[in-house]
């Protein structure tokens, strides 16, 4: 009898532990945890907010999933064509920022996290499976990035990912797309040591399909100056600080003021670069506020500024190039001046190049 009681007690304890483990997987959810776009529950209609903080009492362990009672069945793909019927999208006016995100909004974004799809021109460059740099989609099949990102990687298998947001999950409402790079065009006057003319074009094997979270960034007119513009935004997955051990998971944004050439050169002369440092005319500068800066891993990413005609439409002003540490007070970051190369970009897009 005693052994029987011990066995029953052990079995009961096992069942309790099993229940706790199952609850730990789905949190307090009494349905099924699925991405928002796979749930037909009425209470998820319209705009939905996700809290990106870790919550021990959340219904679902993954913050991008919802507890759902009416799961939408998987869409059947036509075996003849291999295509899935989907409402078509078009490329909108270039440089249009999704201020409220695409598909859902996030709450408690205290570390500069972007909304999902907020900057739909932002892309990630991979060499094999390794993240290398950021970039900007300026044509359905053309990406602008920094020359230093690809100078030593021209013979590697390069892939561009558009529509990425949180690199640690695939549960976003809209999926990312990937395309292989077929040709790398580095500026003929790029200087490997000093990073002058630090710009490159990546021509893709196939164009990206437009979607709400995959759109184009405008080029600025040739030679346009953004000096003293206050509301430019740099985006990227780079490190939060120079000594951080890893890159960011969620795409971040920093709002940066543009610093004119003379003041930027003066600021750099106060660093280890020394009093005789000459800032090359192919660079522009932004930032200078302590703790607000791009950093390691942001190379190639865009610095986009609102156009004078429409504050919600952005132009490619700069490309993250280099800096002295990250976020030091009074020290701006250096960016390749994209508007200096607009004619070069358009010439190489429209015709072949030997580079």
Q: pLDDT per position in the chain (355 positions), as tens?
A: 444 444 455 555 554 444 444 444 445 677 777 666 567 655 544 445 444 334 444 566 665 566 777 766 654 434 333 344 455 678 889 999 999 888 766 655 567 899 999 999 999 999 999 999 999 999 999 999 999 999 999 888 999 999 999 888 777 789 999 999 999 999 999 999 999 999 999 999 999 999 999 999 999 999 999 998 989 999 999 876 545 556 678 899 999 999 999 999 999 999 999 999 999 999 999 999 998 889 878 999 999 999 988 888 999 999 999 999 888 999 999 999 999 999 999 999 986 544 4
The pLDDT assigned to 88 comes to: 61
The model's pTM = 0.76
In terms of C-beta density within 10 A (0-12 exposed, 13-18 middle, 19 or more buried), how is residue 259 classed? buried
Per-residue tokens: 266: 């003066």
The pLDDT assigned to 141 comes to: 98
Rounded CA separation 355/336 (Å)? 19
For the segment(s) 122-216+343-350, the CATH number from 3.30.479.30, 3.60.15.10, 2.40.10.10, 3.40.50.2020 is: 2.40.10.10
For the segment(s) 218-338, the CATH number from 1.10.260.40, 3.90.226.10, 3.20.20.10, 2.40.10.10 is: 2.40.10.10
The pLDDT assigned to 63 comes to: 55
User: Do 122-216+343-350 and 218-338 agree at the fold level?
Assistant: yes
Nearest to 284, CA basis, from 349, 347, 220: 220
> Domain map of the chain by residue range?
20-74, 122-216+343-350, 218-338
3-state secondary structure the chain: CHHHHHHHHHHHHHHHHHHHHHHHHHCCCCCEEEEHHHECCHHHCCCCEEECCCCCCCCCCCCCEEEECCECCCCCCCCCCCCCCCCCCCCCCCCECCCCCCCCEEECCCCCECCCCCCCCEEEEEECCEEEEEEEEEECCEEEECHHHHCCCCCCCEEEEECCCECCCCCCCCCCEEEEEEEEEECCCCCCCCCCCCCEEEEECCCCCCECCECCCEECCCCCCCCCCCCEEEEECCCCCCCCCCCCCECEEEEECEECHHHHHHHHHCCCCCCCCCCCCCEEEECCCCCCCCCCCCCCCEEEEECCCCCCEEEEEEEEEECCCCCCCCCCEEEEEHHHHHHHHHHHHHCCCCC
Work out the widest C-alpha separation in the chain, in whole angstroms: 92
Contact of 210 with 137, CB cutoff 8 Å:
no
The pLDDT assigned to 297 comes to: 84
Report how far Cα 149 is from the mean position of its chain's Cα atoms.
Answer: 16
The pLDDT assigned to 10 comes to: 52
């Amino acid at each position: 009898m005693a052994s029987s009681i011990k066995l029953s007690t052990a079995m009961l304890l096992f069942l309790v532990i099993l229940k706790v483990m199952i609850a730990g997987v789905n949190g307090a959810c009494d349905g099924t945890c699925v991405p928002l776009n796979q749930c037909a529950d009425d209470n998820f209609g319209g705009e939905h907010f996700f809290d990106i903080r870790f919550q021990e009492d959340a219904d679902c362990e993954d913050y991008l999933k919802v507890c759902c009672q009416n799961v939408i069945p998987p869409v059947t793909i036509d075996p003849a064509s291999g295509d899935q019927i989907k409402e078509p999208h078009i490329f909108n006016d270039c440089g249009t920022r999704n201020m409220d995100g695409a598909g859902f909004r996030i709450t408690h974004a205290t570390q500069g996290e972007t909304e999902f799809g907020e900057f739909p021109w932002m892309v990630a460059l991979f060499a094999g499976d390794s993240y290398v740099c950021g970039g900007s989609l300026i044509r359905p099949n053309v990406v602008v990035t920094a020359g230093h990102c690809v100078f030593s990687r021209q013979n590697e298998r390069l892939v561009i990912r558009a529509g990425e947001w949180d690199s640690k999950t695939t549960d976003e409402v809209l999926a990312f797309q990937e395309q292989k790079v077929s040709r790398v065009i580095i500026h003929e006057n790029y200087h490997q040591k000093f990073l002058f003319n630090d710009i490159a074009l990546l021509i893709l094997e196939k164009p990206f399909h437009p979607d709400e979270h995959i759109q184009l960034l405008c080029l600025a007119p040739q030679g346009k100056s953004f000096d003293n513009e206050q509301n430019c935004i740099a985006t990227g997955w780079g490190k939060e600080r120079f000594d951080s051990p890893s890159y960011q998971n969620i795409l971040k944004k920093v709002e940066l003021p543009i610093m004119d050439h003379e003041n930027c050169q003066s600021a750099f002369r106060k660093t280890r670069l020394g009093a005789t440092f000459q800032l090359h005319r192919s660079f522009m500068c932004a930032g200078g506020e302590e703790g607000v800066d791009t950093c390691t891993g942001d190379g190639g990413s865009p610095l986009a500024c609102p156009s004078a005609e429409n504050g919600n439409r952005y132009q490619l002003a700069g490309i993250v190039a280099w800096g002295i540490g990250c976020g030091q007070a009074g020290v701006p970051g250096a960016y390749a001046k994209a508007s200096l190369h607009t004619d070069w970009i358009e010439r190489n897009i429209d015709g072949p190049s030997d580079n």
